[in-house]
């Protein structure tokens, strides 16, 4: 019997080996167009309010259009909690994560590469020994590129006809193993390869992969990508959502989204709640584990309680039979 192929399981497998994967057809053509239209409209609104869509510290010229604070808009709130995206996020970061940022980068013809970086290196110091950050990159246009542009004259047939470089994100294979800045290869620039994907796909990239935006060398094709940035809950978010999201939006959010955006009154209490128990209970816990093994007369009773909208195990209690 031929085993059924689960594309998402394949993607997760690729992810764990390479630090990235492509999941195709997450959005239909129609949905993709709707999101792209909304993106341009949000960008126009930002410009009208005098907000910058070009940041010189990020991009070498104004052909990159950056759109920030997408979560103020319903379409993008839907995307950040899209079930496929969340499934991929949980497969990398586990059940507990927060949303750090959600932005767009439209690389228009003439745009050039930003600085090489890994997303985790932007929010936490080295060594980066485990994955604590990741991006879900929504492709609103096809993205394609080639580091072999110089070979183009040598290509034949359809390969020659193929268009090169609409600014696909460029990444370095194996860079997810670099743990410190001194591990960055001297010839990093020559090692770059493009992520290629069709419009409507997501590229999932863990935060330890070193990458940059590609140069868009086409005459007339925009490359539009959204970057949904998720991290482990102990890393400070890039955006203070409490400050930035309007009251209307904050009031409309589900308890789950409130938690993912870190909008609760408490912030980094997760580990404290999980691991701080009264000393007597901690001693008892050890005893319980020991006694459970020998099937003695004590039971460990574990329950779950809600705290700040979150399910947490209660401290183990002992019941003497
Ligand atoms: O636009 C891209 O391809 C990459 C953007 C990026 O890595 C960033 O903005 O941090």
Domain ranges of the chain: 7-260, 270-320
d(CA 295, CA 12): 39
Could you tell me the distance, in angstroms and rounded to a whole number, from the CA of residue 105 to the centre of ligand 1? 7
Ranges of beta strands (E only) in 210-259 are 211-212, 223-231
Minimum-distance ligand 1 atom for the alpha carbon of 105: 1
Q: How far apart are CA 316 and CA 256, in angstroms?
A: 26
pLDDT of residue 290: 39
Identify whether the C-beta of residue 123 lies closer than 8 Å to the C-beta of residue 175: no
Confidence band (pLDDT; 50, 70, 90) for 73? very high
Which CATH architecture fits 7-260? Answer: Sandwich (2.60)
CB-defined site of ligand 1, < 6 Å: 105, 169, 211, 213, 225
Q: What is the pLDDT of residues 165-216, one digit of tens each?
A: 899 999 999 999 999 999 999 999 999 999 999 999 999 999 999 999 999 9
Q: Give the pLDDT confidence score for residue 279 in this predicted structure.
A: 84
DSSP result, 144-207: ---TTGGGGGG--HHHHHS---B---EE-TTGGG--SGGGS-TTGGGG-EE--B-TT-EEEEET
Whole-angstrom CA distances from 89 to 20, 26, 205 are 12, 15, 10
Indicate the DSSP class of residue 139: E
Please give the distance, rounded to the nearest whole angstrom, from the Cα atom of residue 316 to the centre of ligand 1: 45
Q: What is the pLDDT of residues 301-314, one digit of tens each?
A: 344 444 445 544 44
Q: What is the pTM of this model?
A: 0.84
pLDDT at 2: 59
How far, in Å, from the CA of 231 to the mean position of ligand 1?
16
Pocket-testing residue among 210, 227, 228, 230, ligand 1, by greatest number of atoms within 8 A of Cβ:
227
235-248 residue pLDDT tens: 999 999 999 999 99
The residues, any chain, with a CB within 8 Å of residue 49's CB and separated by 6 or more, are none
Index of the ligand 1 atom closest to the CA of residue 58: 9
90-112 burial, b if ≥16 CB within 10 A, otherwise e? ebbbeebbbbbbbbbbbbbbbbb
Residue located nearest, by CA, to atom 4 of ligand 1: 213
Inter-residue contact 281 to 315 (CB < 8 Å): yes
Ligand 1 midpoint to CA 115 (Å): 9
Q: Which of 20, 105, 193 to mutate to test the pocket of ligand 1 (most atoms within 8 A of CB)?
A: 105
From residue 271, give the alpha-carbon distance in Å to each of 8, 169, 286: 30, 35, 19
CB 170 within 8 A of CB 189: no
Position 22 scores a pLDDT of: 96
Q: How confident is the model at residue 67 (pLDDT cuts 50, 70, 90)?
A: very high
- Separation in Å, CA 168 to CA 154, 173, 199, 230: 22, 15, 12, 21
Mean pLDDT across the chain:
85
- For residues 321 and 297, the answer to whether their CB atoms sit within 8 Å is yes
Best probe residue, ligand 1, of 39, 101, 114 (max atoms within 8 Å of C-beta) = 114
How confident is the model at residue 263, as a pLDDT?
96
């Amino acid at each position: 019997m031929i085993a059924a192929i689960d594309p998402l399981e394949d993607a997760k497998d690729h992810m764990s080996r390479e630090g990235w994967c492509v999941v195709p057809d997450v959005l239909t053509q129609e949905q993709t167009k709707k999101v792209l239209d909304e993106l341009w409209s949000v960008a126009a609104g930002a410009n009208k309010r005098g907000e910058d869509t070009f940041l010189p510290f990020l991009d070498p010229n104004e052909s990159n259009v950056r759109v920030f604070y997408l979560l103020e808009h319903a379409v993008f709130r839907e995307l950040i909690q899209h079930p496929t995206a969340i499934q991929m996020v949980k497969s990398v970061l586990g059940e507990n994560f927060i949303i750090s940022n959600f932005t767009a980068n439209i690389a228009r013809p003439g745009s050039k590469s930003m600085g090489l970086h890994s997303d985790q290196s932007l929010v936490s110091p080295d060594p980066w020994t485990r994955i604590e950050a990741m991006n879900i990159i929504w492709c609103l246009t096809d993205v394609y590129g080639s580091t072999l542009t110089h070979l183009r004259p040598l290509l034949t047939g359809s390969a020659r006809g193929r268009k090169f470089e609409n600014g696909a994100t460029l990444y370095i294979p194996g860079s997810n193993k670099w743990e410190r800045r001194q591990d960055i290869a001297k010839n990093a620039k020559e090692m770059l390869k493009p992520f290629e994907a069709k419009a409507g796909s997501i590229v999932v990239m863990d935060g330890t992969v070193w990458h940059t935006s590609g140069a868009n060398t086409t005459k007339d094709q925009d490359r539009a990508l959204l970057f949904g940035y998720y991290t482990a809950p102990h890393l400070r978010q890039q955006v203070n959502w409490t400050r930035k999201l309007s009251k209307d939006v904050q009031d409309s959010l589900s308890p789950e989204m409130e938690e993912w955006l870190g909008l609760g009154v408490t912030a980094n209490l997760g580990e404290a709640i999980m691991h701080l128990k009264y000393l007597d209970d901690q001693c008892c816990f050890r005893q319980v584990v020991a006694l459970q093994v020998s099937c003695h007369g004590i039971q460990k009773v574990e329950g779950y309680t809600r705290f700040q909208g979150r399910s947490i195990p209660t401290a183990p209690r002992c019941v003497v039979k």
